[in-house]
Structure 1
Amino acid sequence: MSASITPPEGIDPRKDSLIEYPSIFPIKVMGAMVEGFAEALAEVALQFDPGFDASTMELRPSKGGNYLGVTLNITATSREQLDDLYRALTGHPLVKIVL
């Protein structure tokens, strides 16, 4: 017995994202509080968003001062772009967490 599953009317099964492109998409990154961490993140962001403006980065040191939280506001143009950026950030040696 085979059941056919059909999506509700008006739903496009090919649309795999709830994000509308292009849009400003915040990515939160945490790493050790070291010299050049924020600049390194800006360089990575520029590889995936040539219009990235480093002056929009939000920096938040941890309570103990050992870590730095950084929000990157990226102009997201596709799911692939975000996936590639996420992989680049998580693979960076200074990065601990990417949300």
Structure 2
Amino acid sequence: MSDDPNKPPKIEFPCPDYPIKVMGTSGPELHTLVVEVFTRHAQDFDAQCITVRDSSKGTFQSLTVTIEATGEAQLQAIFDDLKVSPLVKMVL
């Protein structure tokens, strides 16, 4: 562990219950995209466990998916696949 307060903490892999939040334009297309990306990259992905939250005006949605993260390459692939879609505004 590093004592440098400017460095973010390292994640130890595999990391169970790793949440990823996808925020984007509200609608079934966003949900479909999230299911497709996570099915491709996360073996333990269960589409029934997606938590959806609508914005106050219903224009945007936040979808939270919890997976077992297996490594930085997996997380980067998920983020990259999501960010190329114009439906996705932010991935956390």
TM-score category, normalised to shorter length: 0.7 to 0.9
Instruction: Write the deviation string for residues 15-42 of structure 1: whole angstroms up to 9, x where unpaired.
Output: xx61111122111111111223212201
4+ residue segments displaced more than 3 Å? none
Q: C-alpha separation between the residues in 2 aligned to 1:93 and 1:47? A: 19
In structure 2, stretches of 5+ residues that fail to align are 3-8
Whichever of the two has the greater Rg, that structure is 1
Map of 2:48 onto structure 1: 55
The 5-angstrom pairing of residues 1-99 of structure 1 reads 18-23=10-15, 24-99=17-92
> What secondary structure sits across from 1:36 in the alignment?
helix
Q: C-alpha separation between the residues in 1 aligned to 2:87 and 2:54? A: 15
Tell me how many residue pairs correspond in the alignment.
86
Q: C-alpha separation between the residues in 1 aligned to 2:42 and 2:28? A: 23
Tell me the CA shift for residue 58 of structure 1: 0.7
What TM-score, normalized to structure 2? 0.82
Identical amino acids, percent of aligned pairs: 35
Bigger proportion of residues as helix: 2
Output the aligned Cα RMSD.
1.8
Q: Which amino acid aligns with 1:81?
A: Q
Q: Which amino acid aligns with 1:20?
A: E
In structure 1, stretches of 5+ residues that fail to align are 1-9, 12-16
